Amino acid sequence: MNFLQLRGRMPALLDSGVSIELISAPGRGKSEFVRQTVDVMTARDKEEWGYAELFLATQTPPDLIGYMFKGELQLDNGQRISITDPTMPPWMVTTTGKPVWEYKRGLLHLEEFAQGQPDVKASAAELLLNRRLGKWRLPEGWSVIASSNRTSDRSGVTKALDFVINRRLEIHISDDINSWENWAWQAKVEPLFISFAASNPQVVFTDGVPDKQGPWCTPRSLVMLSRILEQMKDADDRIPTKEDAVELAAGMIGQAAAASLFAHVRLGHEMPDFDEIIKQPKKAKAPQKADAAMLVTYNLAARVDDKTISPCIEYMERLPKEFAVIFAKGACNRLPTIVMSDPMQKWIAANSSLMTALVDTNKK
């Protein structure tokens, strides 16, 4: 199941009360998906959902249960006896610093669940089944979501326990460039990196980890690199291509992927810039080769607004037809209101493929 499919199922799954474990290759965005689910549910219920998270790979059983101190218990007959009393564990506090009981509904996210030690996962089993551990309990409306990598990913995954497996719904996340691309537009990822992923899914969404340990490209590491290089843009607002930038990229996504990425970036620098296209939509260079046309299309989708949509459409009419859909989907994903502009409405009415693509996007 991909993220777009799962997004539509999440409200029903959470309302059912089932605990969930999301499993995928590294760097696919499971944590971001869970955090966004909180926002989706908050918008649906018009009431804020709480969010707490715990990185299980670094926890010990006392971190989950609470550390024991000497306490007292008063019996019905008035007698007071000494007992051990646990401190409140960190999963009972949300990321905003509030206790979980201040929210009627919320999510507890157990990150890197499969990388936890067996005794830690055993302790967490009661959280998955009953949303409680020892004396501590999540509010009735809360849900638990665990996220893990696969055993084959060399991420430190420890042996699964059958009684834990039987206490949650296991969902394997499949790679899907459309899901990632929709997210990337909304997250304002540099368009050159979005177009690189769309053109080179075999590089960005490689299955598994490299045979030799070292940096490699995943959707996560590519976005991290994008954020770094965006801070290094030159006076012309362009990603740098000098040796030091390539070296930084190799340290994040590996040498082979970095070489492919910068070949893509250099080609992008040869394409007409946005201002030139807006000023001269009928005269600006309109590449016909797929890789160059892809770059221009993503650049326009990342920058178009209500004032520039008309010349952008005029220019897009000069590119191969298949790029019209890519432009329309990217622009509407980034700026949903643009679909209602007069130029876009006329363009859609004249192109049935655009109408189909945008309807499918809205459904997802």
What pLDDT, on a 0 to 100 scale, did the predictor assign at position 158?
80
Q: Are 294 and 191 in contact (CB under 8 A)?
A: no
End of a domain among 172, 203, 222?
A: 172
What pLDDT, on a 0 to 100 scale, did the predictor assign at position 235?
86
What pLDDT, on a 0 to 100 scale, did the predictor assign at position 357?
65
Q: Is 340 helix (H, G, I), strand (E, B) or coil?
A: helix
End of a domain among 144, 172, 200?
A: 172
Q: Are 298 and 326 in contact (CB under 8 A)?
A: yes
Going from the C-alpha of 234 to that of each of 70, 176, 225, 276, the distances in angstroms are 61, 33, 16, 18
Residue 210: which domain range?
177-363
Q: Are 226 and 190 in contact (CB under 8 A)?
A: yes
d(CA 34, CA 148): 12
Same domain, 209 and 80: no
Same domain, 227 and 315: yes
- Give the tens place of pLDDT for each residue, 38-90: 999 999 999 999 999 999 989 998 889 888 777 777 888 888 887 777 889 99
End of a domain among 172, 188, 223?
A: 172
Same domain, 200 and 322: yes
Residues whose CB falls within 8 Å of the CB of residue 110, separated by 6 or more in sequence, listed in order:
53, 54, 56, 124, 127, 144, 145, 146, 147
Same domain, 225 and 157: no
Same domain, 324 and 220: yes
Pairing of strands 169-172, 50-55: unpaired
pTM of the model: 0.80
Same domain, 143 and 219: no
Residues in the chain with pLDDT < 70? 355, 357-364
Which CATH number characterizes residue 112's domain?
A: 3.40.50.300
Same domain, 193 and 76: no
Same domain, 356 and 207: yes
Same domain, 186 and 273: yes
The total number of structural domains that make up the chain: 2
Neighbours of 314 (CB within 10 A): 16
Same domain, 150 and 202: no
Going from the C-alpha of 7 to that of each of 12, 22, 111, 177, 311, the distances in angstroms are 10, 12, 19, 15, 35
Q: How many residues does the chain have?
A: 364
What pLDDT, on a 0 to 100 scale, did the predictor assign at position 338?
92
Same domain, 126 and 143: yes
Same domain, 189 and 134: no
The candidate with the shortest Cα–Cα distance to 204, out of 360, 34, 37, 29, is 29
For residue 137, list its beta bridge partners.
Answer: 132
